[in-house]
Chains A and B, each alone.
Chain A
Amino acid sequence: MSDKAPLRQPASPAHVTALTAEVAGLIVEALNLDLAPADIDPDTPLYGEGLGLDSIDILEIALVVSKQYGVQLRADSEENERIFGSLRQLVEYIIAHRTK
C-alpha cells in the first residue's frame, strides 16, 4: 500500500512525486481514461476543458480518494474548485488531510 506520511508535516518532494503518480493512477483506473497516468500534467485543470471530467467523475474520484486515503471531501465555499483545480492541488489536499 502507499507509504504513510506523518500528518501535518511538509512532504518531501520525492514523496509528493510518488503520491502524484499514485493518485494519477487511481484517477485513470477509476474513470477508465484513455491515457497513461504519467500523461496527466499536474497543472492541467481536471474539471471541464482540461482533462474533460464532469461532475460524476469528480464524485467518483472523491469516493476512490476517500477509500484510499481516508479523506472525506466537502464542497464548502470555494474549496472544491481549488481541490479539483488540478492534480497537484488534489495531491496537496490529500497530503494535508489524509488519515490513512
Chain B
Amino acid sequence: MVAYRAGTPVLVPQFLADVHRVSAILGTSSHILNACADRYHFTVGFAASLLSGKVSLLPSTHTAEVVRQLTAFAPDVVCLTDEADCALALPQVRYPREDAPTAPACAVRPNAAASVPQIDASQLAAYVFTSGSTGTPVPYRKSWGRLVACVREEASRFGLAKRAPCAIVATVPPQHMYGFESSVLLALCNGHALCAERPFYPADIAAVLERVPRPRMLVSTPVHLRAILSSGVALPRTDLIVSSTAPLAQQLAVETEQRNGAALLEIYGSTETGQIAARRPTHGPEWRLWPGVRLTPEGDTTWARGGHVEQPTRMCDVLEQTGKGRFLLHGRLTDLVNIAGKRSSLSYLNHHLNSIHGVEDGAFFHLEQARSSQTGVARLAACVVAPTLDAQRLLEALRERIDAVFLPRPLMFVARLPRNSTGKLPQEALRALAACARGSGTLASLTITAEHPALAGHFPGIPVLPGVLLLDEVVRMVESDGGLGGARWRIGAAKFVKPVRPGETLTLGHEPLPNGSIRFNILRAGQPVAHGVLVPLAAQQRPDHGRQAG
C-alpha cells in the first residue's frame, strides 16, 4: 500500500505503473518544478523524476519572482502540475488524468511482481530553497541516501516500526520540507501510506482521518491544531499527532493530547537541514537530536552538522545544549520571521519592498503584541515612503515578489521613516507609528522653547527641560485632543530616559489602553526620551465644573 485517496487504497503495482507513465511524459529537461497539489500525484511525480535522473525543485513559494529566479538557476526547468489552470510561467507537463486511457505497456498487470527500483544513495534528488538576504532564493542539495536515512530515523522515533503500516494524513503541502519528509518520504521509504488529500478546515481533517483505517497519524502545524481545538470538531481516534514549522504552545500540546488520546510529537528542523530533532512536549522541553547530528555554538549562533545534514548549517534559532544530543529551544534570531510556519527574514522582505518602483524607503517590522485570534497568527506590519503609489498597487507589486502570508498588515504610508542618526529604526518609534495606524494612537509634535518661564535658572549654561514641564505639556496636549471626549487626566507613572533641551522638536505618541488609561511616549529623532501612563482624573478632583464628564 502506498496511498489512500478518499479512503480507497492505492497499491504498489498501481503506484509503479503511475510512476512509469509519468516518467514517459517528463521530457528531456533535468529539472522539474513539482507543483502537484495532490500528495499522491506529487509523490508519483517525484519518484518519476528520481527514476529518470532528474532533480526536483522545491521552492517554498511559487511567486512570479521566484519562478523567474528558478529559471535563472535552472534554465531547462519544466513544471509538473495536476491543475488545469496552473498559471506558472513555465513550460508545463500535465499530470495524466486518472481516467485517461493508459498505454498498454503501463497498464497494471494483475500478476506482475512489483519490482521496486533502487536509487543510488548519492543521487541528487532535489533542491530546496530558502530566502536569502539579497532577495534571491538560495538552493540546498538533497541527496537520496541522506533523505532516506533521515526519514528512517523519523519512523523509528515515531514508533512506526512496531505498528502495521500507518495511514498518514497531512495538512501541509508536499513541497514544503516538512511535508516532503513527513508525509511523502516517511510513507515511501518505510512502507506507510500517504493520503492524497490536503485537508484544510477542521471538519475536513476529521473526515479524511475517518475514511482511513487505523493506525493513522496526523501531520500538521500549530495553526491547524489550534483551529481544530477552537472549532470544537472532534477528531476520530488517531494514533499519533505530529507538529512542526513553528513552536507549539505548551497548553495547546496538553489539550491536543487530552482531547485525542494520542501522543503529540514535535519535530524541529529547517529547510536546509531537514528535521534534526524531536520531542514530546508534554513530557518535557528538551529536544533530542537525530543520530550523528551535532550542534556547535559560534558566538551567539549555533551550527548543525553531521548525520544526514548535507553541509554545516547555521540554525535560525537560539539553541542551548543541555547534554549529549539534547538541547533547549529559546526562540528566533531577530532578523528571522516565521508566520504560520513559513519562514523568511526581515532583510529578504525589506529587499523586495525597496525594490518596488516608487518605494523610496520601506521597512517591515513586528507589531508589539500577537494579534489574539482563532488561529494565533500575527502578521508583519510595514511602513513605507512611496508618494506615487497607493496601497493596492504596492500590495500587487509585493504579491509578485513575496509569499502572501508576509503581506503587511497594517501597511502604513508615511512621509519619513523614523530612522535615528545611525539609520536604524528603533522599535519604540515603529510601535508609536503602528499605534497611529491602528487609529488608536496619535502622534503630535511638541516643542518647548527656551523662553518658557519655568526654565529660568534651570540650569545656567546647561538648559534642561524639567521633567514636570514635559509631563504638564503631555497632559495638556492629550486633553486638547478632540478624540478623547474632554476627559481630564493626570500622570499615573512616568519615566525619563534622556534629558531634553528646550527648543528640541519632540514627538508625542499616545494611545488608549484597554484598562482606560493612556500610554504615552515622547521621542526625539526616533529615540525614546520619556514614557509613562495617564490615568483619568476622578470626578471630585476636577477643578472645572463646566467640563463634561468623559
A residues contacting B by CB (< 8 A) are 30-34, 49, 52, 54-56, 59-60, 62-64, 66-67, 72-76
Please tell me if the beta carbons of A75 and B200 are within 8 angstroms of each other in the complex: yes
Q: Are B410 and A72 in contact (CB under 8 A)?
A: no
State which of A34, A60, A72, A75 has its C-beta within 8 Å of the C-beta of B375: A60
Q: Which segment, of B223-231, B258-266, B328-336, faces chain A? A: B223-231
Among residues of A, the one whose C-beta sits closest to the C-beta of B437 is A34
| Complex CA–CA separation, A56 to B227 (angstroms) | 10
| Complex CA–CA separation, A56 to B371 (angstroms) | 13
Q: B47 to chain A: closest CB distance in Å?
A: 27
Interchain CB contact under 8 A, A33 and B405: no
Q: Which 5 pairs of residues, A with B, have the shortest CB-CB distance?
A: A63-B374, A54-B404, A72-B203, A34-B410, A73-B201
Which residues in B have their C-beta under 8 angstroms from that of A76?
A: 204
Partner of B223, one of A49, A56, A66: A56
Chain B residues, Cβ within 8 Å of A63: 227, 230-231, 374-375
B233 within 8 A of A: yes
Q: How far does the Cβ of A64 sit from chain B's closest Cβ, in whole Å?
A: 6
Tell me which residues from 131 to 148 in chain B have a Cβ below 8 Å from any Cβ of chain A. Answer: none
Given contacts A49-B396, A52-B395, contact A59 B409 (CB under 8 A): no
The A-contacting residues of B in range 372-426, CB under 8 angstroms, are 373-375, 377, 379, 391, 395-396, 399, 404-405, 407, 409-411
Residues in chain A near residue B375, CB distance under 8 A: 56, 59-60, 63
B466 part of interface (Cβ distance < 8 Å): no
Q: Please name all residues of chain A whose beta carbon is closer than 8 Å to the beta carbon of B437 when the two chains form the complex.
A: 34
Chain A residue numbers with a CB within 8 Å of B396 are 49
Instruction: Tell me the B residues contacting A by CB distance below 8 Å.
Output: 199-204, 207, 223-224, 227, 230-231, 233, 340, 371, 373-375, 377, 379, 391, 395-396, 399, 404-405, 407, 409-411, 437
Q: Select from chain B the residue with minimum beta-carbon distance to A52.
A: B395
- A74 CB contact (under 8 Å) in B203, B227, B379, B391: B203
Is B199 a contact partner of A34 (Cβ separation < 8 A)? no
Q: Which residue of A lies closest to B403 (CB)?
A: A54
Q: Which residues of B contact A32 (CB under 8 A)?
A: 371, 379, 409-410
| Selected contact of A30 from candidates B207, B223, B373, B409, CB within 8 Å | B373
- Nearest chain A CB to B230's CB is how many angstroms away? 5
Say whether A56 contacts B377, CB under 8 Å.
yes
A-B contact pairs, 22 of them (CB 8 A): A30-B373, A30-B374, A32-B379, A32-B409, A34-B391, A34-B437, A56-B223, A56-B340, A56-B377, A59-B200, A59-B224, A59-B375, A60-B375, A60-B377, A63-B230, A63-B231, A63-B374, A72-B202, A72-B203, A74-B207, A75-B199, A76-B204
B399 to chain A, nearest CB (A): 8
- Residues on B with C-beta less than 8 A from A52 are 395, 399, 407
**Among A54, A62, A64, A67, contact of B201 (Cβ-Cβ < 8 Å):** A62
B411's nearest neighbour on chain A, judged by CB, is A34
A55 to B377, CA, bound (A): 12
- Residue of B at shortest CB range from A32? B371
Contact indicator B203/A60 (Cβ below 8 Å): no
A59 CB contacts on chain B under 8 angstroms: 200-201, 223-224, 227, 374-375
Residues from chain B with Cβ under 8 Å of A62 in the complex: 201
Which residues of the other chain, B, contact A34 by a CB distance below 8 angstroms?
Answer: 391, 409-411, 437
Quick one: closest A residue to B409, CB to CB?
Answer: A32
User: Distance in Å from the Cβ of A100 to the closest Cβ of chain B?
Assistant: 13
A63 to chain B, nearest CB (A): 4
Asked if residues B233 and A72 are in contact (CB atoms below 8 Å), the reply is yes
Q: Which residues of A contact B377 (CB under 8 A)?
A: 56, 60
Question: From A73, which residue of chain B is reached at the shortest CB distance?
Answer: B201
Tell me, in angstroms, the Cα distance from A56 to B377 when the chains sit together. Answer: 8
Residues of chain B contacted by A31 (CB below 8 angstroms): 373, 409
Residues of B within 8 A of A72 (CB): 201-203, 231, 233
Using A54-B404, A56-B340, A59-B227 as known contacts, list a sample of 11 further A-B pairs with CB atoms less than 8 Å apart, ordered by residue number in A.
A30-B373, A31-B409, A32-B379, A54-B405, A59-B200, A59-B201, A59-B374, A60-B377, A62-B201, A64-B374, A76-B204
Contacts of A67 in B (CB 8 A): 230, 374
CA distance A60 to B404 in the complex (A): 15
A49–B274 CA distance with the chains assembled, in angstroms: 33
Whole-angstrom distance between the Cβ of B425 and the nearest chain A Cβ: 21
**B227 contacts across to A, CB distance below 8 A:** 59, 63
Q: How far is the CB of A73 from chain B (nearest CB, A)?
A: 5
Q: Per a CB cutoff under 8 Å, which of B233, B405, B410 touches A56? A: B405
CB distance from B204 to the nearest CB of A (A): 5
Q: How far is the CB of B542 from chain A (nearest CB, A)?
A: 34
Of all chain B residues, the one with the shortest Cβ separation from A30 is B373
Q: Chain B residues near A66 (CB, 8 Å)?
A: 231
- How many angstroms from the CA of A59 to the CA of B396 in the assembled complex? 22
- A54: chain B residues at CB < 8 Å are 404-405, 407
CA–CA, A67 and B375, complex, Å: 13
Complex interface: chain B residues within 8 A of A75 (CB): 199-201, 204
B-side contacts of A73, CB under 8 Å: 201, 203
- Per a CB cutoff under 8 Å, which of A30, A33, A55, A60 touches B200? A55
